[in-house]
Amino acid sequence: MPRIGIITDSSAYIPGDLVNKYEIKVAPLISIWGEEELEDGVDIMPDEFYARLEESDIHPKTSQATIRYFEGLFRPLVEQGTPILAIVLSEKLSGTLSSAQQAKAMFPNATIELVNSETTAMALGFQVLAAARAVEAGGSFEDVVKLAKGAKDHTGVYFVVDTLEYLHRGGRIGGASKLFGSALNIKPILYVHDGQVESLDKVRTKGKAITSLLEILDDKLVGKPNLRISTLHAGVEQEAADLLELAQERWSPIEGYITPVSPAIGTHVGPGTVGICYSTDL
């Protein structure tokens, strides 16, 4: 049993070896495909999901991680007297934080802290890993919680979608809605700001969008100490690998990963999405 229990949700898609190393518990979001309810990373994996998304006449819906699942994660930790820190995706993108809050209410005497990351993907994952590493280093619960609450100021996610079609279908996109008056074949550069998806720029080709994305991030990342990078992708792993190589050459991060976009998030951004998540020294 870990000294402090660290919990997140499946939208983070933290690499499995790191989840295992730090004993991170993960609550899966749900993809609803007709009559099927599929748990992220349990019942359906990203590659299968994106292949099906492109071919299916039915557009899936999504649902937050459930109260019951959080209760199941909390209970054994509470019974062992282990304090719990749960860091989850933005409450403006999902009701997952609400599920965690309702599960917490079932354990009124337990030490459970919930943190709204105000983001998703590995921008969330890096916040979780920062907390997990602080636990491993011997940090107190109070110090780890304080670090987790401040981590959102040092992480970000920027991405390019292949088509606006899925954003148009899915909603929950904040200021990016203004793009819908544009031609659907543009390649918008989007980011998560203040917990919701906003638009930064729109470009005619994906290659130019990637170039612009890197230039935008230069201002945030050049010279930053202990930079960590993860490229994300929705069914286009080679594009993410190429982007990671460009990012490593450009900024020399101390860590670099390639991670898929979780099915529950991919429902809204669509196949072909590629982007960069980062974390700088706290």
Residue 174 clears pLDDT 80, i.e. is over it: no
pLDDT at res. 176: 52
User: Position of tokens 């040092």?
Assistant: 154
Tens of pLDDT, residues 1-16: 679 999 999 999 999 9
**Considering the domain 154-279, what is its CATH architecture?**
2-Layer Sandwich (3.30)
Fold of 5-152: Rossmann fold (3.40.50)
The pLDDT of residue 105 is: 98
- Band (pLDDT 50/70/90 cuts) for residue 147 is very high
Res 1: pLDDT: 64
205-241 tens-digit pLDDT: 899 999 999 999 999 999 899 999 999 999 999 999 9
Position 164 confidence tier, pLDDT thresholds 50, 70, 90 = confident
- List the domain boundaries for the chain: 5-152, 154-279
| pLDDT in the model for residue 282 | 59
For the ranges 22-36, 73-87, 194-208, the lowest mean pLDDT is seen at: 194-208
* Range of 48-57, 102-111, 174-183, 189-198 with top mean pLDDT: 102-111
pLDDT at 28: 97
Please determine whether the domains at 5-152 and 154-279 fall in the same fold group of CATH.
Answer: no
* pTM, to two decimals: 0.93
Residue 177 is predicted with a pLDDT of: 52
Calpha distance 214→228 (Å, rounded): 15
pLDDT digits (tens, 9 = 90+) for 17-43: 999 999 999 999 999 998 999 999 899
Contacts (Cβ under 8 Å, ≥6 apart) of 92: 118, 172, 174, 194, 195, 196
- Residue 194 region by backbone torsions, left for phi larger than 0, else alpha for psi between -120 and 50, else beta: left
**Residue 170 confidence (pLDDT):** 60
Is the confidence at residue 279, as pLDDT, over 80?
A: yes
- Span 95-103, mean pLDDT? 98
Closest among 146, 100, 122 to 4, alpha carbons compared = 146
